[in-house]
Structure 1
Amino acid sequence: MTDPLIKAHVRLAGSIRRAAVRLDDERGDVPGWVLITLMTAALVTGIWAIAGEQLKTMFESALNGVTGPDQVHD
């Protein structure tokens, strides 16, 4: 092997080892995902509490527009 090829191999092997160590240390961002889930649930609950009746009316109106008023069952 030539000297530049050996040096390139050593650099590549070192990079792979460093990447493997970083992957082993990566545990994920569990608190971040929990926060996102809780915030989404809070937003859905808030919107539902504020505009629930209007959303229901809009949904029923959309169904009536597609199926006709005689086809919607409660």
Structure 2
Amino acid sequence: MTDRLLVAHTRATAALHRAAERSRDERGDVPGWVLITLMTAALVTGIWAIAGEQLKGMFEEAINGVTGPDDVR
């Protein structure tokens, strides 16, 4: 019985060590997500700077189509 407990303890300890090593490896992905977020923000800013007036006109036209021109301020 003692041998079984020792084997189970050894396996559990090894599994915990492997899980700890994997969690340390996954921390390297954080800069990638930061880069994706910054690139997305840059794309939105660029599109807004280039096509801001057209987007505003499309939005106002869509709102006027739903509510009518008298309801827009």
Identity %: 75
In structure 2, the partner of 1:61 is 61
Listed as ranges, the gaps of 5+ residues in structure 1 are: none
Report the aligned-residue RMSD: 2.6
Alignment partner, residue 8 of structure 2 = 8
1:37 aligns with 2:42: no
Q: TM-score, normalised by structure 2?
A: 0.68
Q: Compare the two structures and name the one with the higher helix fraction.
A: 2
**What's the counterpart of residue 18 of structure 2?**
18
Q: TM-score, normalization: structure 1? A: 0.67
